Amino acid sequence: MSYYRYHVFFCVNKREDGSACCANHPAQEMRDYAKARIKSLGMDGKGGVRINQAGCMDRCEEGPVIAVYPEGTWYTYVDQVDIDEIIDRHLRQGQAVERLKLKE
């Protein structure tokens, strides 16, 4: 068994050349929001959910992006409503949020 049930990576990369990147969206704020919400729900820590930030995940044109492991599910999002849906459906109920999934 893995230390965490889910490990969630938020790309927060900033491209210096001005091209598409997750930092052009509120990626850091959404990551901070998700981390605080997971903690408030008591889902953090061993056996729970770990929220991390990541550098470039090479899907900038589809961004902002999140990757959820161990499944390897990739999502995009617009706002806190989308983050809440990912938390509530995927991380709490184990059901992927199809409308936000990126194609593999």
Q: By the 8 A CB rule, do 67 and 9 touch?
A: yes
Give CA separation, 96 vs 3, 20, 71, 76, 85, in Å.
Answer: 21, 26, 10, 12, 10
CA 62 to CA 36: how far, in whole Å?
25
Q: What mean pLDDT is predicted for residues 83-99?
A: 97
User: Given the DSSP bridges, would you call strands 49-54 and 73-76 parallel, antiparallel or unpaired?
Assistant: unpaired
pTM metric for this prediction: 0.93
Q: By the 8 A CB rule, do 21 and 61 touch?
A: no
Domains of the chain: 12-100 (3.40.30.10)
Burial class (CB in 10 A: 0-12, 13-18, 19+), 39: middle
Residue-wise pLDDT tens digits, 8-67: 999 998 888 877 888 888 999 999 999 999 999 999 999 999 999 998 888 988 879 999
Can you name the residues that pair with 53 across neighbouring β-strands? 10
pLDDT greater than 80 at residue 83: yes
Residue 104, pLDDT score: 77
